A and B are shown apart, each in its own frame.
Chain A
Amino acid sequence: MRKVYIAAALLSLIGIADALYLTVEHVTGQSVKCTIVSGCSEVLSSPYAVVAGFPLAGIGAVAYFTVFSLATLAAFGYRAAGTLLTPLVTAMFFVSLWLIYLQAFVIREFCQYCLLSAAVTTALLVVVVVGRFVLKPASV
């Protein structure tokens, strides 16, 4: 299972960087610029970008960091960490689905950084689920 956890840790690093960038944009009081490839300003300035007073991106950064920590611990043989990883990544995946729904049907704009986060979460789910339920522990 070690390779699976290492892959999950590396993926979560991408998620941390992405979520951190969006958090910084939020905290500095500016939504990102409008560019040819993004609707980020529309998405980040929407009411859905804040949950209970906290920037959603910041919550995402914490979630990715938790995934990174659990995956790293699991890669070094801490079994309990590996057990916690699956429900956390599953929850993050469903949150990502909800956020994609909001972008597509409510805000009607897509932000590439939010889409990258959704892609990372999906990849995490695939890696964790495949590693846990499909591959035999002895073979990985």
Chain B
Amino acid sequence: MKRILPFIIILVVLGAALGSAWYFTRPNPATPTVTQPAPPPSPGSQSTPAQQPVARQGVPGAEPAHSIGPANAPIHLEEFGDFECPPCGMLHPILEQMHEEFGERLRITFREFPLANHQHARTAAAAAEAAGIQGKFWPMHDLIYERQNVWKTQFNTRAIFEDYAREIGLDVERYNRDMDGNLVTQRIFQDSRRGQSLGVQGTPTVFMNGREVPFENLAPDKLRLVIMKELQAVGSK
């Protein structure tokens, strides 16, 4: 028995390793995982309480929020993002694609969640918010994400973002003033505080109708399925 015992131990560890690898790489159900107690069923909902985790409220973020899509859209995606975070940069075109595909049925909100260990994230967030004061948050947001690989390795990103501000037609003098202004600081703080109240620990974190979408479901095909499933659940085709 003693001679075969090490082989049994090795096989058990191998089995556990392969089993856990299989478990975590298996296809996920299209619905977000249940992480909270089930809520009471909403009118018109086709899903059972066990399938539908409760929507989280959290403290309010900056208002008005930066959103695209109608306020009464059946699906609301709220992203907590960091402009310097590569996965956030990868998520950007995916959300654009979802916006095109689902049109009026989808509302997307962006919340600032700059991480302290990203040296330019705070400046990038301020640049987007300063552009937002002049009504051009989304053009700046898009530009910053699309050129993430250009600016993130640079030293003076403030000058680069100023060029972007010029490029999208902002009043640069006002933009520079707003970059250091209280409103921008306050908005970033409020969005981050909202994220913290919702348990956001990293970026990107996306909530769909108040429930967190698991990170692995943010790939285009999976996110599309998640949205379609939610559309069915809320009774909108």
Q: Which of B1-35 contact A (CB under 8 A)?
A: 2-3, 5-6, 9-10, 13-14, 17, 20-21, 24-25
CB contact under 8 A between A34 and B5, given known A24-B21, A28-B216, A68-B13:
no
Q: How many A-B residue pairs have CB under 8 A?
A: 80
Q: How far is the CA of A23 from the CA of B82 in the complex (A)?
A: 24
CB of B164, distance to nearest CB on chain A (Å): 22
A34 near B21: Cβ-Cβ < 8 Å: no
Of B61-69, B110-118, B168-176, B181-189, the one contacting chain A is B110-118
CB of A7, distance to nearest CB on chain B (Å): 15
CB contact under 8 A between A28 and B117, given known A35-B202, A61-B17, A72-B10:
no
Interface size in chain A (residues, C-beta < 8 A): 30
Q: How far is the CA of A45 from the CA of B115 in the complex (A)?
A: 18
CB of B86, distance to nearest CB on chain A (Å): 5
CB of B52, distance to nearest CB on chain A (Å): 24
Q: Which of A28-51 contact B (CB under 8 A)?
A: 28-39, 41-42, 45
Q: Could you say which of A20, A33, A69 contacts B203, with CB atoms under 8 Å apart? A: A33
Decide yes or no whether B218 CB sits under 8 A from chain A: yes
A35 near B6: Cβ-Cβ < 8 Å: no
Give me 19 A-to-B residue pairs in the complex whose CB atoms sit less than 8 angstroms apart, sorted by A's number.
A20-B17, A20-B21, A24-B24, A27-B25, A28-B216, A30-B218, A33-B204, A34-B84, A34-B88, A38-B117, A41-B87, A45-B87, A61-B17, A68-B13, A69-B10, A73-B6, A73-B10, A76-B2, A76-B6
Binding site for B on A (CB under 8 A): 13, 16, 20, 23-24, 27-39, 41-42, 45, 61, 65, 68-69, 72-73, 75-76, 78
Binding site for A on B (CB under 8 A): 2-3, 5-6, 9-10, 13-14, 17, 20-21, 24-25, 82, 84-88, 115-118, 201-205, 215-216, 218-219
